[in-house]
Amino acid sequence: MAVNQYGIGARVRIDAEFRDLDGALTDPTTVTVSFWKGSGSVTTSTSSWTKDATGLYHLDITTDEAGTWFYKWTGAGAVIAAPIRNGKFIVNADQA
């Protein structure tokens, strides 16, 4: 699978789906998203994301350094839910 590539200053949308054990979209009590920049520094948030609908969330990230960026969504609390999307993308210093 190809990895998406962007330039510095790009706005990248990462998203997640949370489903219960029966496969139905559901909201965890707490949603956390973490992303690691190319340098390895990490940002974690339990509130900067946007809820689009039950079980569907996104976060817009503005890239500010080159390298491979990774992200991970987690859900916790009263509802046992697992994220569908964790991933990575590449930021190139010379790509506009």
d(CA 73, CA 55): 12
The whole-number pLDDT of residue 54 equals: 95
Q: Look up residue 25 and give its DSSP letter.
A: B
Greatest Cα pair distance in the chain = 45
d(CA 95, CA 35): 21
The whole-number pLDDT of residue 82 equals: 62
Query: Could you read off the pLDDT tens digit of each residue along the chain, which spans 96 residues?
Result: 688 999 999 999 999 998 888 888 999 999 999 999 989 999 999 999 999 999 999 999 999 999 999 999 988 886 766 665 689 999 998 865
Q: Tokens 């990575």 correspond to what residue?
A: 88
At the top level of CATH, the class of 5-92 is: mainly beta
